[in-house]
Amino acid sequence: MSENHEYSGSSLDSSRSHSSLQADCENCFGLCCVALPFAASVDFATDKDAGQPCPNLQSDFRCSVHSSLRQLGFRGCTVYDCFGAGQKVSRVTFGGLNWQHAPEAAKQMFHVFPIMRQLHELLWYLTEALTLQSASPIHEALSLALDKTERITHLDPDSIMKLDVTAHRAEVNALLLRTSELVRAEVHRQKGASGHPKIYNRGADLIGAKLRGADLRGANLRGAYLIAADLRGADLRGADLIGADFRDADLRAADLTDSIFLTQAQLNAAKGDVYTKLPTSLTRPTHWSSSEHKAST
């Protein structure tokens, strides 16, 4: 990959579109394959320290086993999503500086990348919140938070490394919580006499839960552990899914069209099929079943 490859995603207005917050590996120097550590587990076939290139990473920053990652035990790679932080750090923060050719900058680049990833995740949520009509009472505050976050992503490497990310996340999360409340309250009003969904506390333990065909419209599932949960045919419209753990959750024929704060990484970790309904900003994972047998509700 050439260092002078033109990159057009550096304008401050780029954050207004979800498309600019999706990974563009062609414009990244394989940062997720180098900067991040992983340990041998069900998700990774081997150990790797932070800052150590993955043995599958080629000199052109492409993965030599990309088409066979799951079969070779690297499922974690297929789930990960940087929200476009990789190309931002590679092309904007470091101006196209290649860590292979400039090893003196490598350590700093590898420290900046996970911080940028957190910032871009916040941009994803804020961008979505601004599309939600129910959240219109706080659109101005959301817009200001988005602008502030985007400006931070354009700071120099030293300034980004000094950032109190925890404090900034807390500031943004307060707005996301309010957004969730407004959206779910509207869902409950529309449901009327049909009642409210069961109340779940943040981080609810729903591992392996039998929720097939469940009416989860407007449910608060923030941070819920839905690992291997049976959600076939469940209605998750208007549900807050921020941080929910969908590893191996069965989403066949589930309706997630108007769920809020769902990410591609969450879908990539789950199971689904051609009947799973998704938000327009997300794509159907390639490993999902293509079976025409519709999950019964």
Tokens 């979800």 sit at which residue?
Answer: 18
Strand locations in the chain (E): none
**One-letter amino acid identity for 200?**
Y
Q: Give SS3 for 165.
A: helix
- CA-CA distance, 111 to 127, in Å (whole number)? 25
Nearest-10 Cα torsion for 168, 223, 268, 134: -70
Q: Is 3.10.450.50 the CATH classification of the domain at 197-297? A: no
Q: CATH 2.160.20.80 occupies which residues in the chain?
A: 197-297
Q: For the range 93-96, what are the long-range contacts, defined as Cβ-Cβ under 8 Å and sequence gap of 24 or more?
A: 93/153, 93/154, 93/156, 93/157, 93/160, 94/157, 96/3, 96/4, 96/5, 96/7
Tens of pLDDT, residue by residue, the chain (297 residues) = 333 333 333 334 434 678 789 888 889 999 999 999 989 888 888 899 998 999 999 989 999 998 888 888 888 898 899 999 999 999 999 999 899 888 889 999 999 999 999 999 999 999 999 999 999 999 999 999 999 999 999 999 999 999 999 999 999 999 999 999 999 999 989 887 555 556 777 889 999 999 999 999 999 999 999 999 999 999 999 999 999 999 999 999 999 999 999 999 999 999 999 999 999 999 999 889 765 445 444
Q: Taking a C-beta distance cutoff of 8 angstroms, is the pair 153, 88 a contact?
A: yes
What pLDDT, on a 0 to 100 scale, did the predictor assign at position 2?
A: 34
- CA-CA distance, 68 to 58, in Å (whole number)? 15
What pLDDT, on a 0 to 100 scale, did the predictor assign at position 10?
A: 36
What pLDDT, on a 0 to 100 scale, did the predictor assign at position 43?
A: 84
Compute φ and ψ for 230, nearest 5 degrees: -90, 100
Q: Give SS3 for 79.
A: helix
Instruction: Pick the closest to residue 56 from 67, 287, 96 (CA basis).
Output: 67
What pLDDT, on a 0 to 100 scale, did the predictor assign at position 290?
A: 64
What pLDDT, on a 0 to 100 scale, did the predictor assign at position 194?
A: 58
Instruction: Pick the closest to residue 124 from 141, 144, 149 (CA basis).
Output: 149
What pLDDT, on a 0 to 100 scale, did the predictor assign at position 191?
A: 80
